[in-house]
Amino acid sequence: MKKQYKIILFLIFALNIIGCQNNIPQVTATPLSTSAVTAMHPTSPTAIITPMPTIFPTLTVAMTPSLFLEPQLIYQCADVLQSVPDGVVSNDVVILDSASDTTTGTLLMDMATQRTHQLSLPGESLRNFVVSVDKKSVAFESKIVDLKTNTTQKQLVIASADGQRRAIIPWRNEWHGPLGWTADNRLFFLYDDKALNSGDKHVTLFAYAVLNPVTGEQEILLPDFPGYIQNANIPFWRGWFGARYDSSLTHVIYPKMITGSEEFFTFALWDLSNQKIVSSLESIYRDSVYFSIASPMPVWSPDNSQFAFIGHDLSQPGFELYRVSLDGKTEQLTNLSSIALLRGMPFSWSPDGQKIVLLVDELSATGTRNIAVLDVETKDIDFYIPVGVGPSDESYPPIWSPDGRQFLVTDWSDDWQSRVILVDIPQCVAVQIAKNAEAVGWMVKEP
C-alpha cells in the first residue's frame, strides 16, 4: 500500500470541541531497512541512466487562515502503483551532471526516449549551469586542464538542447561563474571589481556583470545602495553575493543595516528605475551582522512580480515562507514551524508562479525530510518524497519542467551517493531516472 499523508490545520473552539484532543492519532514513521537504502543508493558508482518506476508516499497539507491551533499529522493509505502511468514522459531534455569521482561528464537526456548523449568533451569539466528564461539555451563554465603543459583553459560556453555549442567566449579573470539569465538573454556574473576593495575595508565587496553574449558588451552593476552592509560577512547564496537582481533588472534585494543600529540588519527591496527603497523587511526579518553570511536566500518569481523569502514574525520563534510583492506587500505562505523546519535550501517557483517546491524537515523522532509543493494562492502543501541533502550548499534546487507539471530533484544518501527523481504532480508519481548524477537543468527542444 502507498501511504498518503495529510496535515490538517484547524481551529479548536473551547465551546464545542473540548475533550477531542485525546482522539488525535499519534504519528509514527518506519525507517527504511538497510536493504532498501542499498537498493536506492548503490555503493558502486555508475553513470548509467536507468528508467526505474519507483512510487513514493504522498503527504498532503491543508492550510487554514491565521486563526488555528497546532497542526496535526494524519496518515491516509492508497494503492501503490506498479508501473509508470501514461503521460508521465515529456518531450523535453534534461541536463544531468556526474556526481561521482569516476566522472563521466555531463549528459543530455531526451525524456521521450530516455536516451543520453554527452554534453562535455573528453577531458573537459563543466560547472555552473544556468538555463535561459526561454529554456532554449544553457550557459556553463568549461575547464580543460592540459597535464603536459600544466595549463588550464577556461571558457564560457552556450549550448542548445541538442548539445550544439552556439557560442564559445574566452573567460574573463573578473568573472566568478554565470549566475543566471536576464529576460533579454544576457548573462549575470559575480564580478570582482578591484576598485570596490581599494583602501581599508573589513570585507570583500563584489559587483555584478551583465554580458551580452552576442556583442560582448558588458554592463557593471555596483552595490551602491543606501545602508548596504560593508563591515560584516555579506550573505552568499549559491554564487550571489549580497544582492539578488530580478531578471528584468528593475528591482534588487539587498542586505541593509537597520537605521540607528550598528549590529542588526534586514533586507530591503530597491527600485532600480526610480532609485528608491520600496520596502524594508524588518517586520519579517532582522539578524545580527555576525550571522549575516547564513541569511536565507530570496528567490524571484518567474515574472519578477514578487519574491519568496524565509523569515518570521518577530513575535514568534519559528521561521516561515513569505512572499513580497513589488509594492512591498508581505504575505505569510506557510504555518509549519510547530511541526516542521523549513530548510534554507534554494526553493524554486513553478513557471506560472503558482507553486513553490521547498524542502521541509519534520520535527519528529525520525526527522523525515520531505520535498513539498506549496500552492501560493490556496496555501495547500503536498508532500511527495523523502530526500537527503547534498554534500554542498551549492547543490541545485528542484528544477521545474517548462510546462510546470513535473520537477526534478536530486536525492543524496549519507555517503553522498545520489539519484535523480522525476515527480509528476497531476498523476502523483515519482520515478527514479538516473543514479550517481545531479539534475542541473531542463530545456525544450527547438523545432
Q: What is the reported pLDDT for 138?
A: 98
Clarify whether residues 205 and 239 are in a common domain.
no
At 80, which amino acid appears?
V
Q: What is the reported pLDDT for 199?
A: 66
pLDDT tens digit sequence for 347-404: 999 999 999 999 888 887 566 778 888 999 988 888 787 787 776 656 788 999 999 9
Burial class (CB in 10 A: 0-12, 13-18, 19+), 53: middle
Question: Which three three-digit cell numbers place residue 422?
Answer: 522525476
Clarify whether residues 16 and 113 are in a common domain.
yes
Domain boundary among 173, 190, 221: 221
Structural contact between residues 120 and 100, judged by C-beta atoms closer than 8 angstroms: no
The domain of 321 spans 223-332
Clarify whether residues 227 and 215 are in a common domain.
no
Residues in the chain: 447
**Residue 367: left (phi > 0), alpha (psi -120 to 50), or beta?**
left
Question: Which three three-digit cell numbers place residue 67?
Answer: 486563526
Clarify whether residues 274 and 324 are in a common domain.
yes
- State the pTM of this model: 0.80
Clarify whether residues 12 and 109 are in a common domain.
yes
Clarify whether residues 10 and 83 are in a common domain.
yes
Half-sphere exposure of 356 (CA within 13 A, CB side): 28
Burial class (CB in 10 A: 0-12, 13-18, 19+), 25: exposed
Structural contact between residues 270 and 277, judged by C-beta atoms closer than 8 angstroms: yes
Structural contact between residues 341 and 368, judged by C-beta atoms closer than 8 angstroms: no
Clarify whether residues 23 and 3 are in a common domain.
yes
Clarify whether residues 216 and 243 are in a common domain.
no
Clarify whether residues 212 and 230 are in a common domain.
no
Q: What is the reported pLDDT for 200?
A: 62
Clarify whether residues 324 and 404 are in a common domain.
no
What is the count of structural domains for the chain?
A: 3
Clarify whether residues 142 and 199 are in a common domain.
yes
Q: What is the reported pLDDT for 298?
A: 94
Q: CA 328 to CA 279: how far, in whole Å?
A: 5
Radius of gyration of the chain (CA): 23
Clarify whether residues 235 and 260 are in a common domain.
yes
Provide the pairing of β-strand 58-62 with 2-8: parallel
Domain boundary among 309, 332, 355: 332
Q: What is the reported pLDDT for 368?
A: 73
pLDDT tens digit sequence for 167-197: 999 999 999 999 999 999 999 999 999 888 8
Q: What is the reported pLDDT for 202?
A: 66
Domain boundary among 190, 221, 252: 221
Question: Which three three-digit cell numbers place residue 292?
Answer: 549575516
How many angstroms separate the first and last alpha carbons of the chain?
42
At 233, which amino acid appears?
N
Q: What is the reported pLDDT for 29?
A: 31
Q: What is the reported pLDDT for 398?
A: 93
Q: What is the reported pLDDT for 46?
A: 34
Mean pLDDT in consecutive groups of 10 residues from the start of the chain, 447 residues: 33 32 32 33 35 35 37 34 63 88 79 90 92 97 86 94 96 95 97 82 85 97 91 85 95 94 92 95 89 86 96 80 95 87 84 94 73 89 79 78 94 84 86 90 92
- The residue with cell 521521450 is 112
Encode burial over 330-367: b for 16+ CB neighbours within 10 A, e otherwise: eebbbbbbebbbbeebbbbbbbebebbbbbbebeeeee
